[in-house]
Amino acid sequence: MLFCYEPGADGFGTEKNEEKAFMLMNKAAETDPRAKARLGEFFADGIGTMVDFNKAIELWTEASEEEEAEPFLELGHCHRDGIVLEQSYELST
């Protein structure tokens, strides 16, 4: 159901609703590290919420500690580009 409301979804019979997608992703993130990583993207991109890179990095770090792969890529981009984290090409790879 959540993915019906996300940006880029064709709605699958529902209207796109970023605030509802954010609310549902936030609930899913309580128990699912993949949802936690995706919620970090919501914060980074301002989907259904205000942009908050600190919160995004916090969620990506937590999800990576739960052995979810995707947040490692996001954290690497932050290190590479110096977004909130110290710019470090060594840490980005």
- The answer on pLDDT for 81 being more than 80 is no
What domain range is 79 assigned to?
2-92
Q: Which residues contact 54 (CB under 8 A, 6 or more apart)?
A: 84
- The answer on pLDDT for 10 being more than 70 is no
- Which ranges of 6-52 would DSSP assign to H, the alpha helix? 18-28, 33-45
The pLDDT tens digits of the residues spanning 23-68 come to: 999 999 999 999 999 999 999 999 999 999 999 989 998 998 998 8
CA atoms within 13 A on the CB side of 13: 1
Residue 60 sits in a domain whose CATH number is: 1.25.40.10
Domain count, the chain: 1
pTM of the model: 0.77
